[in-house]
Amino acid sequence: MPIKLPPGISASTHASAVKELQRVVGSDWVFTSEEDLDTYRDAYSIRWGHEDEYLASAAVAPKSVEEVQAIVRIANKYKIPLYPISTGKNLTYGGSAPTYSGSIVLDLKRMNRVLEVDEKRAFALVEPGCSYFDLYRYVKDKGLKLWIDCPDPGWGSPIGNALEHGVGYTASQFRDHWGAHCGMEVVTPTGEIMRTGMGALPGAKTWQEYKYGVGPHVDGLFAQSNFGIVTKMGFWLMPQPEAWLTGTVNVPKYSDFIPLVDHCNYLEDAMIATGQAIYSSGLGGPQNGAEVQALMANRYPTLAELDAYAEKKGVPAWRVKLQFYGPPEVIQARWEYAQERIAKAIPGATFTNFETLPMPLTEAQEKTHHLVNFGIPNMAIFAGMAREPGVADPKDGHTDFFAVCPRTGEAVFKALKLVYDTQKELGVPLTASPFRGPVTWHHKCFFMGAPPVDSQRNDPAFNRRMRTLYDAYVKKFSDAGFPPYRTNPGAQDLLAAQFSFNDNVLLRFQEALKDGIDPNGILSPGRYGVWPKRLRPKRA
Amino acid sequence: MKTFIAILGATTVLGVVGSAFAADAGQLAMGKERFDYWCDTCHAGDPREAGRFLPGTASLNAKYNGSRPGALVDRTDLLPPYVELVIRKGMEGMPFFRKTEISDTEMKAIAAYLSRNTKQ
Amino acid sequence: MPIKLPPGISAATFAEAVKEFQGAVGADWVFTSEEDLDTYRDAYSISWGHDDEYLASAAVAPDTVEQVQAVVRIANKYKIPVYAISTGKNLTYGGSAPTYSGSVVVDLKRMKRVLKVDDKRNFALVEPGCSYYDLYQHIKDRGLKVWIDCPDPGWGSPIGNALDHGIGYTASPYRDHWGAHCGMEVVLPNGEIMRTGMGASPTSDTWQDYKYAVGPHVDGLFAQGNFGIVTKMGFWLFPQPESWMTGTVHVPKYSDYSALVDHCNYLEDAHLATGQTGYGSNLGGQGVTAAPEYRALMANGWPTIEQLDAYAAQRKVPAWRAKLQFYGPEKAVRASWAYAQRRISAAIPGATFTDIEFSTLPLSPAQEKTHHLVNFGIPNMAIFQIVARPAAGPNNANPYDGHTDFFAVVSRSGSEVFRAMKAVYDIQKELKIDPITATPFSSPVTWHHKVFFMGAGGVGNQRGDAEHNRRMRALYAAYIEKMAAAGFPAYRTNPGAQDLLVKQFSFNDHALLRFQEALKDAVDPNGIISPGRYGIWPKHLRQKKA
């Protein structure tokens, strides 16, 4: 693909900027060749090869905060937009490509140090290029009794993931990665270094202990955003628990899901089941394929029909795998309580798949357990994309869709039906099912997935259809009250537009703030719908 | 300010002419209800947390040292103007109350309620 | 006191504005008389009666969001600064007075509804004038099985308290009141209504379930901020636990404190001790500074750890204690307490355990009389003991007319606690405070579970004694500056000290403040919302930086 210059910037201006960048980081670390820039494409892009695929005009990789500052000043001088990436592994949500074609990608991977980990006060301070693997290895090498909380692929960045509102798998207070952050250092769009929270007080030792400084708390402005380049971030970490325990609750009726959710909510919010609750159904799945399709042949089945189906199959309709972390006698007592509580509330509930292990897992145990529930980064999720029986022709990628959903059974049922209705309306293959559980990355709300939208690099027509399908999911789910929590750059304007309360006042407020601190509009224009003034879409 | 309140507080019933503070049942009911909502939490007459009298009553117990009840509801010498003054001006650790909290009508009702046992 | 007009506004202009305010909320709800405005002073002000006391020019009390919008539009039209209060009970931190004299106070007390409480998803949505009492009563009346988390005085506002970074006393996720909020509605400086988080999605029902919308998360700007007037806020609530257990750990040596802290940190972070840890020293307490052995200990200045260990051994009392609290089902809390005892016994020789108690929940009315109610989410006013005439208090004859608080942010480690204690002592010594109230036996407060707050003692105000007040204000300013210099800034302060406190956060030439100012200028160009709150001044009032 030919290099895409930033709109309004001439080739000679761009070349001058590149020269200055080379002087800052060394020419080894400025990338302008087509071959190099191919590695800054979004590997999973559903725009692959399309005219409007997001492409960088160059990439620059600094080694220090001072270099980042110098780069930002150059960007301001030439009014060339920058797009920072940390490890650049934001696959399914845009990868390492900029949100605005022609931007220069600011690749922070070389800034990858673990700066501090304190075992007693249970926190870490890292740089953006540090991956979950890096932090895990650091903690392990030093024999520190702390866990990290990682998302599915371990090569991502704790900072980058938190900034995207990414999520994980261990104890509730650590799964919301942004929520678990404490203190940041940022290079502002005008090139200054700023530290937030207690980092603004020279001499404070509490930068990673107390989230707030005094006065307005600005941290949130940097997440899913373009208000600054984060160069350090602190995180609260989970002390290594003594043991782990799991047990699965099975409930017979499809409609039992409603009280099941209510009771699991209690267990989670009351800090009894401290690990992630994992919902699934014993119905559905490939073995029930034809039957499930039959159930949905004419219309989405009613609750009564689903209860009848479950009874017919003689399989518990729903199950939830509860997890507990703590000393053995404590988690045993908590699990017993959970069983008593649910047995009393839901007739016919059964309890299976009990297991408890001292922590940490042995090497042998690591091979057979779901590692992310133990704060162990890995790449197992990629199995879903690789070749396996039934998937002879793996796709080149996909873009994800997870909708924010209230923590009730009724809301889950509504969302499941919504997938069905949407697919029917759009005339796409029916992959909807009444037998999918919500995801509980966040402990106070559910995320409901719509089936991922795939990408095929060698089939632009396929990709065009996928783009239309994805946009339709965004619109229809939002209309029904279930907008996605995060999305790829191609859908960010559309998604931001769904948050339309009072004539999109939130976006207009964000825009006003943006104008206040990025007057040249050089930082990640368009990220999550926030455009600088000079590029802002005209409104009616 | 403190001097002013002290003088007013020391005014005996005999120094007041007439029965300007007669109240009807409705006003007394409102007064009790508003007293229970706003004042009881510091001025209740029975011991509460950790077996202590609440701070208003405890403080008045220490101030009067037996010469008068510490609990406001047990007082037989309060006058409405004094009660209203304390509500609007505060006293020592007790801050004053705004009209958005205790309206003039409610204030007069509380004053009437606390004065209900004062001999006229 | 004469009415203080907003600086730069003529009496005639002001009178027009007042007329318009009356049109917006009704004449009954606009206060301009001296008598009425007396109720908008800071009852605990350490500037009471001084030239620089913070005074309102008027107060306006709207009843609906639409009225708030109208008030803000009028303020913009006439360029008159406004200052929002919720229940106006921010005593020791400014009360109901504005941060900028001459402002019009916007009193939100009339907007006091509890809009929603859900005891399956465990959240509430309230208005600013709703007090902790109101929310508690609402829950009790409906038999909902959720707890609130309240600070000491129950008459405060969940919204107002959260916006000042106030804190509480139950389980760790709920004690950080701002941290427990989820979703807000705000009237912006230009008079528009904005909803944050999922409230911005008109079709969604997750406003109080999911904190974020998409794009930059703006909520933080409104806490200890002046970016808008909050008219609704959601909070996550603690589901009523089945039972409660407590036990107190005592450790013998003064120097055992560090290990005690480390283990209690673990218990908190691992969600084993799910309630608040209460530290204290058996060597401290009322009257300790008068004892001859204490005077001997302090005779040569601040003692060393070895001297303190010897002192504790001499006195034959365990130097430190930590009261642990647990919420949950009976067997779980008993198991957690047993584990805590085992863990600490193994780590600290000579550790003992006392005051063990178990109770099912909720507490009975009889139990409510004898327990520390805030640990059970029950609002009350017991804290006012410290301003009333406590039985053996130092101010029995002449109680303070008010005081201002100082709590410093301190790392969760024994060595930092020791350093902070000495820092307070050094300041009192330097300022020749007599008597010195700082001792080596102060304990941190664990309102936040990931950091300590160390108090320096309330700085009291006597309305009739200008010399006393001058000395107290100098002491307070010294705390603000010198504790920050030692790395222990206050987390919150009264308007008179906000500029000074903010100035301490000076990293890279006050980059954070300059960033906040740029944001402020962008959304409040007329600078009418709470000028100066936590050091953020609108452009036209900003001091030139040295």
The chain-wide mean pLDDT, for chain A, equals 93
User: Lowest-confidence range among A328-342, A363-377, B42-56?
Assistant: B42-56
Spans of chain C, pLDDT less than 50? 391-393, 545-546
The pLDDT value given to residue A89: 86
Domain boundary residue among A222, A239, A256?
Answer: A239
* Residues 310-369 in C contacting B (C-alpha not used; CB under 8 Å): 368-369
Report the chain A residue with the minimal C-alpha distance to residue C198.
Answer: A499
Examine residue A382 and state whether it is found in any structural domain, yes or no: no
Q: Taking a C-beta distance cutoff of 8 angstroms, is the pair A256, A262 a contact?
A: no
- Please give, rounded to a whole number of angstroms, the shortest distance from the CA of C300 to a CA of chain A: 28
Closest CA to A422 of A364, A370, A480, A374: A480
Residues A233 and A297 occupy one common structural domain:
no
A301 lies in the same domain as A407: yes
Positive/negative CA dihedral, B12, B15, B19, B23: negative
* CB spacing of B58 vs C38 below 8 angstroms: no
Structural domain boundaries in chain C:
111-239, 243-495
**Model confidence at A429, in pLDDT bands (50, 70, 90)?**
confident
The residue-averaged pLDDT of A198-207 equals 97
Cis peptide before C435 (omega within 30 of 0): yes
Contact (CB<8Å) B48/C463: no
* Domains contained in chain A, number: 4
Cα nearest neighbour of B48 on chain C:
C369
Contact B45, B51 (CB under 8 A): no
Q: How confident is the model at residue A2 (pLDDT cuts 50, 70, 90)?
A: low
Domain C111-239 has CATH 3.30.465.10: yes
Same domain, A77 and A193: no
- Whether residue A369 has pLDDT greater than 80: yes
**Is there a single domain that holds both residue A352 and residue A266?**
yes
Query: What tokens does A81 get?
Result: 């937009």
Please list, residue by residue across C390-412, b when 16 or more beta carbons sit within 10 angstroms of its beta carbon and e when fewer do.
beebebeeebbbbbbbbbbbbbb
**Could you write out the DSSP letters of every residue in A448-491?**
EEPPPEEE-TT-HHHHHHHHHHHHHHHHHHHHTT--BS---HHH
Residues A256 and A222 in one domain: no
Query: In which band, very low, low, confident or very high, does the pLDDT at A138 lie, cut at 50, 70 and 90?
Result: very high
Q: Domain range spanning residue A84?
A: 11-109
| CB-based contact B96:B90 (threshold 8 Å) | yes
Q: Cα-flanking dihedrals φ and ψ of residue C213, to 5°?
A: -95, -130
- pLDDT at position A393, please? 60
Closest residue on chain B to C31 (Cα): B99
Q: What is the pLDDT of residue B17?
A: 40
Closest Cα in chain B, distance from residue C539 (Å): 32
- Report domain extents, chain B: 22-114
Residue C491 near residue C409, CB atoms below 8 Å = yes
Between A496 and C287, name the one with better pLDDT. Answer: A496
Superfamily of chain region B22-114: Cytochrome c-like domain (1.10.760.10)
Residues A304, A276 within the same domain: yes
Q: What single-letter amino acid sits at C290?
A: A
| A253 and A181 in a common domain | no
B98 to chain C, closest Cα gap in Å = 5
Q: Which residue of C has its CA nearest to B61?
A: C389
Instruction: Please say whether the beta carbons of C465 and A223 come within 8 A.
Output: no
* The last residue of a domain, from among A455, A478, A501: A478
- Most C-contacting residue of A225, A257, A269 (CB-CB within 10 A), to test interface: A269
Residue A432 sits in the same domain as residue A473: yes
**Is the CB of C487 less than 8 angstroms away from the CB of A274?**
no
**What is the CB-side half-sphere exposure of residue C398 using CA atoms within 13 A?**
7
- The C-alpha of A269 sits at a distance from chain C's nearest C-alpha, in angstroms, of 7
* CB < 8 Å from B in window 134-173 of C: 154-155
Identify the domain boundary among A478, A500, A519: A478
A215, C204: Cβ pair inside 8 Å?
no
Mean pLDDT of A390-396: 59
Q: What is the pLDDT of residue A23?
A: 98
Q: Which of A149-153, A457-461, A467-471, A529-533 has the lowest mean pLDDT?
A: A457-461
Entry pTM = 0.95
Name which of A226, A162, A214 is nearest A188 in CA terms.
A226
With a cut of 50, which residues of chain B have pLDDT below it?
1-20
pLDDT, tens digit (0-9, with 9 covering 90-100), for A447-483:
999 877 787 878 888 888 888 889 999 999 999 999 9
pLDDT at residue number C80: 97
Task: For chains A and C, tell me whether 3 or more CB atom pairs sit within 8 A of each other.
Answer: yes
Percent of chain C with pLDDT over 70: 96
pLDDT the model gives residue C1: 55
End-to-end CA distance of chain C: 34
In terms of domains, do A167 and A91 share one? no
Whole-number Å distance between alpha carbons of C5 and C11: 7
How far apart CA A114 and CA C89 sit, in angstroms, is 44
Answer yes or no: do B93 and C387 touch at CB < 8 A. Answer: yes
What pLDDT sits at residue B14? 40
Q: The domain that contains A71 carries what CATH number?
A: 3.30.43.10
Structural domain contains residue A380: no
Query: Would you say residue A483 lies in a domain?
Result: no
* Residue B4 confidence (pLDDT): 47
Q: Which CATH code for domain C243-495?
A: 3.40.462.10
